[in-house]
């Protein structure tokens, strides 16, 4: 699970850097260097740190629950903000389409991470139950 957090953290960091610099041209950003484009990178750094701290077995459970919370907040923030403007993006009338795409992408990535966390928590609980009972 620690490796999963590190991986998703790196993906979000790269997403934020791409949104900020438009190196690849993935989001076709016209207003380059907007600090808000780095929000996914902030979530990515938090997940990366959680993954690194989760290597220590004594705090792994607490750190991974914190990582799941970060994933939940990223999902709510990304899909919430981007979802409100999705129809405008679809119609081609969005004021900042690159920002909406970046928000939606972050939301989907965080949702995928959150689903993986919940699945891992359920499996861990089952393993503990089988070992103890």
- Nearest CA to 20 among 52, 47, 44, 46? 44
Q: Which domain holds residue 89?
A: 2-132
* CB-neighbour burial class of residue 32 (10 A; exposed 0-12, middle 13-18, buried 19+): exposed
For residues 9 and 46, is the Cβ–Cβ distance under 8 A?
A: yes
Q: Cα(33)–Cα(20) distance, rounded to whole angstroms?
A: 5
Tell me what pLDDT residue 24 has. Answer: 63
Give the residues of the chain that fall short of pLDDT 70.
23-32, 133
- Nearest CA to 81 among 56, 102, 63, 67? 102
Tell me what pLDDT residue 25 has. Answer: 66
What's the domain count of the chain? 1
pLDDT in tens, 92-130: 888 888 888 899 999 999 999 999 999 999 998 999 899
DSSP element (H, E) containing 74: helix 60-84
Q: Cα(74)–Cα(15) distance, rounded to whole angstroms?
A: 13
């Amino acid at each position: 699970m620690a490796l999963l957090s590190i991986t998703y953290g790196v993906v979000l960091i790269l997403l934020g850097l791409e949104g900020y610099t438009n190196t690849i041209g993935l989001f076709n950003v016209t207003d380059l260097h907007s600090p808000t484009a780095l929000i996914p990178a902030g979530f990515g750094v938090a997940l990366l740190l959680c993954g690194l701290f989760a290597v220590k077995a004594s705090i792994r459970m607490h750190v991974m629950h914190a990582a799941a919370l970060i994933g939940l907040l990223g999902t709510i923030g990304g899909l919430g903000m981007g979802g409100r403007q999705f129809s405008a993006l679809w119609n081609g009338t969005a004021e900042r389409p690159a920002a909406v795409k970046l928000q939606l992408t972050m939301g989907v990535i965080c949702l995928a991470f959150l689903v993986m966390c919940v699945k891992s928590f359920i499996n861990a609980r089952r393993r503990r139950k089988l070992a103890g009972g």
